[in-house]
A = this chain, B = another copy of it.
Amino acid sequence: MSEIRLGIIGLGNMGTGHVQYLIDNEVQGARIAAVCDRGSERLKWAKENIGNNVELFDDLDRFFAFDGLDGVLIATPHYSHTELAIRAFERGLHVLCEKPAGVYTKQVRLMNEAAAKSGKVFSLMYNQRTNPLYQKLRDLIASGELGEIRRTNWIITDWYRSQSYYDSGGWRATWAGEGGGVLINQDPHQLDLWQWTTGLKPKRLRAFCYFGKYRDIEVEDDVTAFVEYENGATGVFVTTTGEAPGTNRFEICGDRGKIVIEDGRLHFWRLRVPEPEFNRTFKGSFGQPECWKCEIPIAGVESGHKGITQNWVNAILHGEPLLAPGEEGINGLMLSNAMLLSTWTDGWVNFPIDEQLFYDHLQRKIGRNDQIAAQ
């Protein structure tokens, strides 16, 4: 195969964004062969912009019956990701799925099982994994430069959303329509990077979510979470859509120093000797390890969505390792589910979470919403 024949499901904000860089030939080795959307205006837009060589479908059965595809890019509402991905895998298609992988881990586990069974290439649109800052952070941690991690702290409160944003779609910020608020909609990138960059495994978590605190919505718009990791480290994650100007500051402390990513820059305070070594040998009353503020070169540019798509295409065509393997989508989602579950049960949540318990709670929340039927 020299070129992937690509089907795109969903032509909303994200789907049309993907179409745009693909028709601009910014991804090598892929061409759009078909699109599927229930909206006739959107299909008309696709025909005008992609050209005559694209098949247009307003029906999923016919889309999946079309035999001119090698892979699909899924850009539909959250709840449908799993069903569509599983259907694609069963058809023998490669899958690139928008975040989040799904709304609840039970769902995503099935998706991962279908991916494994199919042997096809499965990637998730974690485009912030292409950001050189987070790649460098991951490198510094994985290579041991920061030592054993002791604490993480992410304040990610610059996701400001007005009431008019929420009012722009009846499905927005509802349990039935989106399955959650800031955690499932705005934070999937940070929830992914939080564990992808550090490699830390959560052991248990306690979180405090507030629902409709700043806006007239039924889902969470303000969250503080505390996590204990398997290695004994702890972490804090604070997020809201209600603050302006907000903060995006990620601090990670290890026994060789401290890294802070803020305002698009990475700062590394490096201890001359590891803290435990200093502590073993220092005999005075007050004193601390010598610390160097280090300038770390950051190479490369953030290739974003098209970078992830190119990587997925390269993985299919040339066996290139995936930057965002689809199976890893469950990790960030489990953090998100755990935060809600901890709030609903007003207690600790152990990892891996009780996926059925979360599912049952979510169903009860959906049941309370009488305006929009569950998907």
Residues of B within 8 A of A224 (CB): 226, 234, 236
CB contact under 8 A between A245 and B165, given known A224-B236, A238-B151? no
With both beta carbons as reference points, the residue of chain B lying nearest to A210 in the complex is identified as B234
With both beta carbons as reference points, the residue of chain B lying nearest to A275 in the complex is identified as B244
Tell me if A20 counts as interface (CB < 8 A to partner B): no
Q: Does A162 contact B278, Cβ atoms closer than 8 Å? A: yes
A206 to B346: give the CA distance in the assembly, Å: 11
Size category of the binding interface on chain A: 35 or more
CB contact under 8 A between A162 and B244, given known A224-B234, A226-B224, A236-B238? no
Picked from B161, B206, B222, B284, the residue with its CB within 8 Å of the CB of A234 is: B222
A212, chain B: closest CB distance, angstroms:
12
With both beta carbons as reference points, the residue of chain B lying nearest to A253 in the complex is identified as B243
Q: Does A243 contact B163, Cβ atoms closer than 8 Å? A: no
A311, chain B: closest CB distance, angstroms:
28
Tell me if A168 counts as interface (CB < 8 A to partner B): yes
Residues of B within 8 A of A161 (CB): 286
Q: Mark A228-264, 1 if CB is under 8 A from B, else 0.
A: 1000101010101011111100010100011000000
Residues of B within 8 A of A284 (CB): 162, 164-165
Tell me if A153 counts as interface (CB < 8 A to partner B): yes
Residues of B within 8 A of A271 (CB): 244-245
Q: Does B208 contact A208, Cβ atoms closer than 8 Å? A: no
A157-190 contacts to B (CB < 8 Å): 157, 160-165, 168
User: Which among A124-132, A191-199, A287-295 touches the partner chain?
Assistant: A287-295
A140, chain B: closest CB distance, angstroms:
16
Q: Does B245 contact A288, Cβ atoms closer than 8 Å? A: yes
A242 to B232: give the CA distance in the assembly, Å: 13
Q: Does A164 contact B283, Cβ atoms closer than 8 Å? A: yes
Tell me if A371 counts as interface (CB < 8 A to partner B): no
Residues of B within 8 A of A155 (CB): 153, 251
Residues of B within 8 A of A238 (CB): 151, 153, 236
CB contact under 8 A between A253 and B151, given known A164-B284, A208-B206, A232-B213? no
CB contact under 8 A between A244 and B278, given known A155-B251, A168-B285, A232-B213? yes
Q: Mark A23-50, 1 if CB is under 8 A from B, else 0.
A: 0000000000000000000000000000
Residues of A whose CB lies within 8 Å of any CB of B are: 150-151, 153, 155, 157, 160-165, 168, 206, 208, 210, 213-215, 222, 224, 226, 228, 232, 234, 236, 238, 240, 242-247, 251, 253, 257-258, 269, 271, 275, 278-280, 282-289, 291
Supply 14 A–B pairs (Cβ within 8 Å), ascending by A: A151-B243, A162-B278, A162-B284, A162-B288, A164-B283, A208-B226, A224-B226, A224-B234, A243-B258, A244-B289, A245-B271, A245-B288, A245-B289, A247-B253
**7 closest pairs, A vs B, by CB?**
A160-B288, A245-B291, A162-B282, A244-B288, A244-B289, A245-B269, A164-B283
